Each structure stands twice: as structure tokens, then as C-alpha cells.
Amino acid sequence: MNSLKIALLSSALAATNLFAETIDERIVQADKVVDGQTVDEYVNTWWQWTYTMPSELNPVRDYTGKHCHVGQQGDVWFLAGGYGSSTINRQCEIPAGKYIFFPVINMVYFPRYPNSYTCDMAKTSAALNNDKLLDIYIELDGITSWNPASTRMASPDCFDLLGMVPKEYEPPKVYPAATDGYWVMLKPLSKGKHTLKFQAVYDRQGGAYGRMAQDIEYELNIR
């Protein structure tokens, strides 16, 4: 192999390593601990978070990002997807040093009536659409993930969907709830502006949300 080919190969390998470091190496693995919880435990906490605020302030229902700060606490900042099939472009300002956690696509199941559901039933139902994932895409600052389908996580244990609602509101217990989907925990980003895009589509015949599609873009400003 001549010196020119060696130089080109070295450059290609260097670019490959840089690619990995700029996106996939920023994704925290499911078994790692962040702010006192393993990453896979945040799938339950994320859903509980979505029920801690009134619907008019809910970041999942917000199509601009103006409510992205609502309910945030600790070292992990939650970003929202959308309810049902969604195409959304949001802007969000995030304090520096925060991990960022979000669902690319996911399902949650919980009992509609008392004593009507078991934990195993909730977990099985939440998995059905995710077993039929058609496509998934994750991009940060113009660079895509090599293996976005590796981000699948499910509830380690069932949970009370309203478990984070303040007790003074006397919330009913909604248990057992369980979620399954594709989730990402990013390490803290550098200060400045970043663009995050994530998309996914299910391909399950019949069943609720069996053809759901998510197409979400964030313009993030880390301050």
C-alpha cells in the first residue's frame, strides 16, 4: 500500500473515531448511574414527570418549547417527544452541566380501572409496538448515531404513574404502569447552541398506535 493510500486510510479512521465520540460516545448506557438512578430507571421517572404539571404547561403538549423548563429538577433534564404521531420543532434553554434524557419513541400502559391490570400485562402491552419498530434515527449537531436501535429500554419495575404528583393534591394511585421504548441519556453538552433531531416509526398491524411516527427537532441553547 503506497503512502497516499495509507494517509487516506488513516484520515478515514480518524474521522470514524471522531464520529463515534461526537454522538454514540455521548450516550450513557442503561446500566450506568446518573444522579442516584440507573439510566433505565429514568424511563419510569420521565412518565411520572409528565403528570406533575397541568396540561396547559405540559412540555409534551407544547409545540414551541416555551414550557421545556417546567418540572425540571436534579442533574437530569427531560426533553419531551409528542403524544401520538407528531412532527414538532422546539427551542429549549438548558443550564450547563445537565444530562439530557428523552424518548425517541415509546409506549406506556396502565390500568384504566382499579384491579384490572397486572404488572406483567402492562409490560407486555408496552412492548408490542416496540417489537415492530420500522425505523429509528438520532442526530446531534448534524452527526447521526450508528446504532440508534440499541437504545431500547423498558421499565425495570412497574410504577405509580402519578407517583410524583404532590401529596396535597391527593392523587389516586395509578399502578401498575409500565413503559417500553427507545430512550437516550446524553452526557452534558458544551455551552452554546446544539441541534438535536430524533425520529422513529412503528410498523405493527392493528393495535393502538401501531403506526405511530415521531419526528422531533430541538434547538438547544446550553447556558
Task: Provide the pLDDT for residue 4.
Answer: 38
For residues 182 and 205, the answer to whether their CB atoms sit within 8 Å is no
Task: Provide the pLDDT for residue 65.
Answer: 98
- Domain definitions of the chain by residue range: 27-222
CA distances for 106 relative to 6, 52, 85, 143, 206, angstroms: 45, 19, 11, 23, 17
44, three cell numbers: 419510569
For residues 214 and 182, the answer to whether their CB atoms sit within 8 Å is no
Strands (E), the chain: 33-34, 37-38, 76-78, 86-94, 99-109, 133-140, 143-144, 152-154, 178-186, 192-202, 213-222
27, three cell numbers: 450516550
Task: Provide the pLDDT for residue 23.
Answer: 85
CA dist 100 and 194 (Å) reads 12
CA dist 107 and 3 (Å) reads 53
Tens of pLDDT along the chain (223 residues)?
A: 444 333 333 333 333 344 445 789 999 999 999 999 999 999 999 999 999 999 999 999 999 999 999 999 999 999 999 999 999 999 999 999 999 999 999 999 999 887 889 999 999 999 999 999 999 999 999 999 999 999 999 999 999 999 999 999 999 999 999 999 999 999 999 999 999 999 999 999 989 999 999 999 999 999 9
**33 DSSP β-pair partners:** 38
List, in order, residues 6 or more apart from 217 with CB less than 8 Å away: 88, 89, 90, 195, 196, 197
- The SS3 assignment for 120 reads helix
CA dist 143 and 5 (Å) reads 26
